[in-house]
Every structure is written in structure tokens, then in C-alpha cells.
Amino acid sequence: MRSPIRKRVIRKYLLALIILACTPLLLGTSMVPMSVESLTRNAALIMQGEATRSWSQWNPQHSLIYTYTEFAVARTLKGQAPAQVVVKQLGGSVDGTTQHVSGVRYWPAGEEAVLFLRPSEAKDGTHVVVGLVQGNFRVQRLSTGEVRVSNGVPEVQWLNAAGEQSVSQSTPMTLHDLETRIQRAQRLSQ
């Protein structure tokens, strides 16, 4: 028969193993909040365009799924872009397997966005969004003719250094206000 002390030790080890096994499930995506000005400085390309198609595929090691979205470029606000740009993001679904990444928002065909981009580290001709969702501004055209943009998604919560939830950075603004901030940031960085 096992002693009560040994039973407690075994229970503690089992509890520790369960906690360690569950830790990856509890972790989310962490990101440093970035202003429009910081996004502008860190982007090689800022473009407005419309998603034309998306597809997902495994990486060569078959360990990660990437979703690729092709955009028809309407105009650039920084840098130069060809008529079509492909944006690569972690996550997606392939062959019945789904990988979800918090802080990444995908685009359905026809959705318009202003994107802050940099070339992918894979040097495969694709681009990645600067600051995850922060550099992904969804364009909304209102019936009044006003065009608004927002980079927020419901699942993102901003935490300050003390770990307390802070005000969301996803407050909508007009497209004109976003353009003005981008232009100002570019002038200041020259």
C-alpha cells in the first residue's frame, strides 16, 4: 500500500504534467501595439486593394499551414507594387486540418483593405502584414459616401504592461485620416 505522502507527491506530479500539457492551449498571440506612424515606418509597401482569391497550403516541412491571398492593387500609399500582390499569413485549412492563429484576419474575395506590408522572410515573392492584424485595415464604404477603415477584430484584447486590458486600437477612422497620418509619418522619417 502506498503512503499518503507518496500519493500526494504523485498527484502533484500528475497535476504538473497536465498543466504542462495544456500550456500551449492557453497561450495566445502576443503583439506590441503599433501606431499608424510605426506601421508606416516598418512597412516597405502600403497599398489599397481588393482580395481576388485565397488558398491554403502546407509548408515544405508539412508542419505549418499558410493562407495566401491575392490582391488587385488599386493604389499604393508607400513603395511600389505590381498590379497583383500576394499576401502570406500563418494559419488556414488543408485536407481537413485547420491551424488558427489569433491576431490574423483573413480576407474573403471582394473585400477591400489598406495593408501595411513587408516582403516575406521566405523571399518567395509574397508579402506579410506588418504587426499582424494591426497592419490590416478593412475598408468600409458607407451609404453616405464616407469611407472608413478599421484594423480591429473582436478576438484581440490589448493588455498594458501590468497585464490589464486597455482601450482597443481598432477605433474606425476615415480613409482620408489614415492617408494623412501615413503621409505625415513618411515626411517625418525622411
Q: How confident is residue 103, by pLDDT bands cut at 50, 70 and 90? A: confident
User: With the C-alpha atoms ordered 109, 142, 89, 78, is the resulting torsion angle positive or negative?
Assistant: positive
Q: How confident is residue 30, by pLDDT bands cut at 50, 70 and 90? A: low
Percent of the residues in the chain that have a pLDDT greater than 90, as a whole number: 65
Q: CA 121, CA 129: separation in Å to the nearest integer?
A: 12
Averaged pLDDT, 97-105: 90
Averaged pLDDT, 44-57: 98
Report the amino acid identity of residue 58: W
Report the amino acid identity of residue 79: G
Residue 149 · residue 137 · CB < 8 Å = yes
Q: How confident is residue 34, by pLDDT bands cut at 50, 70 and 90? A: confident
Residue 49 · residue 76 · CB < 8 Å = no
Assign domain 34-189 to a CATH class: mainly beta
Q: How confident is residue 3, by pLDDT bands cut at 50, 70 and 90? A: low
Estimate to the nearest angstrom the gap between the alpha carbon of 2 and the chain centroid.
52
% helix, strand, coil for the chain, step of 5 = 25, 35, 40
pLDDT of residue 33: 79
Q: CA 190, CA 169: separation in Å to the nearest integer?
A: 26
3-state secondary structure of 168: coil
Averaged pLDDT, 51-70: 96
Q: How confident is residue 24, by pLDDT bands cut at 50, 70 and 90? A: very low
pTM equals 0.77
Which residue matches cell numbers 494591426?
134
